[in-house]
Amino acid sequence: MSSPGLQNDNLRGGLLMVLAMAGFAAEDALMKLLSGSVSVGVLILLVGGFSTCVMLVVALRNGAPLFSRDFFHPAVLLRNICEMLGAIGFVTALVMLSLQMASALFQTLPLAITMGAAIFLGEKVGWRRWTAVAVGFLGVMVILRPTGAGFDPFAAGASMLAVFSLAARDLATRRIPARINSTSLAVWGMFSYMIAGALLLPFGAHGFDLPAPRDLALIVVIASCGLIGYLLLIAASRIGEISAIMPFRYTRLIFALGLGALLFGETPDAYMILGSVMVVGSGVYTFLRERYHASKRAA
């Protein structure tokens, strides 16, 4: 039986996780809103630039090394490359798909991590979790409806590029030696985000034009939402038990549903709702099974 103190910590951690997901959902919604007047490449470049500047200040205050041979560690390089590909895929999907659909598809990330850990890291995954992963990706097919008239294979491919790239990023992070400073990793990751934007600049519909002052202000808000969400996520993970706060990560989809309806007039259909339930349910079940096996190994 949990102590009252632990229950309070889990409650606070859950609340912080919900607020973190609200920040990320707001970042996504504002990015999609701004993509109508600012090229995707410029948007990623400037959001990444602002975030990099903030993390540079944090790194300098903490004395984190910014120029180090550790930058060329294979796991660090792989992490940064995957960060770039993930940014390109996710923002592209966010622009081409509805906010609600893009957010629902992004919830398959934990399933992709489980699959990658089994295939590339040799982690043991039983048939129950493999079944949950299969059900989750079947939910993706329900959401996308590849046989439907409105199916866009490029947008679908971009969303899956984001999911599998970010899963590979997280798996690569597990292989990074503990001696490498976490703040340094964050700065290098943000810089990779900038590079992703620079790579997309030649393909922008609005060219290389500097955004209007109002759009620049909104870009600062977008980056701030992401940074605040990141800090709240860390705080939630430190305060509450992971098994207690993890399900609250899926509130990001709830916020996306609300923001999609409010800002873009989006309405989820039956396929969207069914597929989302399959994805979220599979993700929660997979995580709980992982925690169960971890507790058995620790016993």
pLDDT band at 207 (very low <50, low <70, confident <90, very high): low
Q: What is the CA radius of gyration of the chain?
A: 19
Mean pLDDT of 81-91: 95
Per-residue pLDDT at 55? 92
- Give CA separation, 93 vs 90, 101, 104, 192, 261, in Å: 5, 9, 12, 19, 18
Per-residue pLDDT at 1? 47
The SS3 call for residue 72 is: helix
Q: Is the pLDDT of residue 204 over 90?
A: no
Would you list the domain boundaries of the chain?
A: 4-298
Mean pLDDT of 138-144: 94
Per-residue pLDDT at 121? 87
Mean pLDDT of 216-221: 96
Per-residue pLDDT at 69? 92
Given a contact cutoff of 8 angstroms between Cβ atoms, the answer to whether 18 and 251 are in contact is yes
Q: Is the pLDDT of residue 213 over 50?
A: yes
Per-residue pLDDT at 87? 95
User: What gap in Å lies between CA 177 and CA 191, rounded to an integer?
Assistant: 20
- Give CA separation, 162 vs 107, 121, 217, 268, in Å: 11, 20, 26, 22
Q: What is the DSSP string of 204-243?
A: -TTTTPPPPHHHHHHHHHHHHHHHHHHHHHHHHHHHS-HH
Q: Is the pLDDT of residue 14 over 60?
A: yes
Helical residues (DSSP H) of the chain, grouped into ranges: 4-34, 40-62, 74-96, 99-106, 109-120, 127-144, 153-174, 182-200, 213-239, 242-245, 251-264, 270-298
- Give CA separation, 22 vs 15, 121, 245, in Å: 11, 32, 15
Per-residue pLDDT at 288? 85
Token pair of 46 as six digits: 């400037």
Share of the chain above pLDDT 70, in %: 95
State pLDDT tens for residues 182-194.
Answer: 899 999 999 999 9
Per-residue pLDDT at 100? 94
Per-residue pLDDT at 208? 67
Mean pLDDT of 159-177: 94
State pLDDT tens for residues 266-293.
Answer: 999 999 999 999 999 999 999 888 877 7
User: What gap in Å lies between CA 116 and CA 54, rounded to an integer?
Assistant: 32
Its pTM surpasses 0.75: yes
Residue 252's nearest CA partner among 217, 226, 222 is 226
